């Protein structure tokens, strides 16, 4: 295998490496010097493996930084996204990864983000609670746990913006529930079940529905 060309890209800090088999990959410009790569250079399987690994690290870090710039992420979320993204890169450029450990590459990218202090569960919690302010407290906590948030931090969540009782009343008003449905036993239970599935406490549901019935 031989490197046929190394050309600059429109993307900052990126170059294109083309090989003698007509394949090509995006590559971090600084790694060209780091790995002593040059046009017409013969490379063995070991060198090619190193090149592919550095390509994946470069594109993976670049992708992860873009994702975090969009919104805060937990380690679990960004790890899952990186896995999917790297698979797309591998398929897109038809990379031979038989000698590589993708789990280790993923972890190296995660470690890079940690060193840069870009993975902060508290930042994610604040973002998530604000984004999902209409959801119940219980549902928010459950979803945060699913996203891999440190459970010790959940007690620090501030839910004072709007309590569950107010959220249920807002839901009923938004849906413009007919008062006849509230008075009908079966329909009333359907409404209660819908709210319960949203994670609201049954006592809050009863209070909110009684108030809705009284003031409509």
Identify the domain boundary among 156, 180, 205: 156
- Same domain for 60 and 138, yes or no, is no
- Same domain for 59 and 142, yes or no, is no
The answer to whether the beta carbons of residues 35 and 77 sit under 8 Å apart is no
The answer to whether the beta carbons of residues 32 and 16 sit under 8 Å apart is no
Question: Which of the pair, 63 or 164, is modelled with greater confidence?
Answer: 63
- Same domain for 110 and 10, yes or no, is yes
* CA–CA dist 108, 111 (Å, integer): 5
Please give the residue range of the domain that contains residue 129: 121-156
The answer to whether the beta carbons of residues 22 and 3 sit under 8 Å apart is no
Q: What's the length of the chain? A: 216
- pLDDT tens digits, one per residue of 178-196: 656 666 667 777 777 887 7
* The pLDDT value given to residue 170: 74
CATH number, residue 102: 1.10.10.10
The residues facing 127 across adjacent strands are none
Q: Which 3 state secondary structure label does DSSP give 14? A: strand
* The pLDDT value given to residue 202: 77
- Same domain for 110 and 132, yes or no, is no
- Same domain for 29 and 85, yes or no, is yes
Residue 215 has pLDDT above 60, yes or no: no
- pLDDT tens digits, one per residue of 53-71: 999 999 999 999 999 999 9
- Same domain for 141 and 87, yes or no, is no
Q: What's the structural domain count of the chain?
A: 3
């Amino acid at each position: 295998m031989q490197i046929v060309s190394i050309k600059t890209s429109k993307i900052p800090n990126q170059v294109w490496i083309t090989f003698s088999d007509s394949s090509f990959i995006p590559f971090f410009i600084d790694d060209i010097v780091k790995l002593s790569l040059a046009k017409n250079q013969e490379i063995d399987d070991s060198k090619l493996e190193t090149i592919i690994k550095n390509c994946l690290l470069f594109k993976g870090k670049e992708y992860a930084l873009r994702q975090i710039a969009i919104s805060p992420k937990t380690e679990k979320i960004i790890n899952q996204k990186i896995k999917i993204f790297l698979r797309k890169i591998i398929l897109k450029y038809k990379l031979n990864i038989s000698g590589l450990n993708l789990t280790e590459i993923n972890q190296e990218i995660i470690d890079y983000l940690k060193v840069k202090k870009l993975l902060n569960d508290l930042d994610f919690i604040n973002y998530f609670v604000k984004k999902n302010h209409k959801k119940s407290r219980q549902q928010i906590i459950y979803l945060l746990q699913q996203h891999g948030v440190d459970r010790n931090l959940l007690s620090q969540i501030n839910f004072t913006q709007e309590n569950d009782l107010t959220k249920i009343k807002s839901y009923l008003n938004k849906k413009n529930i007919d008062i006849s449905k509230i008075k009908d036993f079966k329909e009333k239970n359907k409404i209660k079940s819908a709210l319960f599935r949203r994670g609201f406490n049954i006592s809050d549901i009863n209070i909110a529905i009684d108030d809705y019935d009284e003031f409509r």
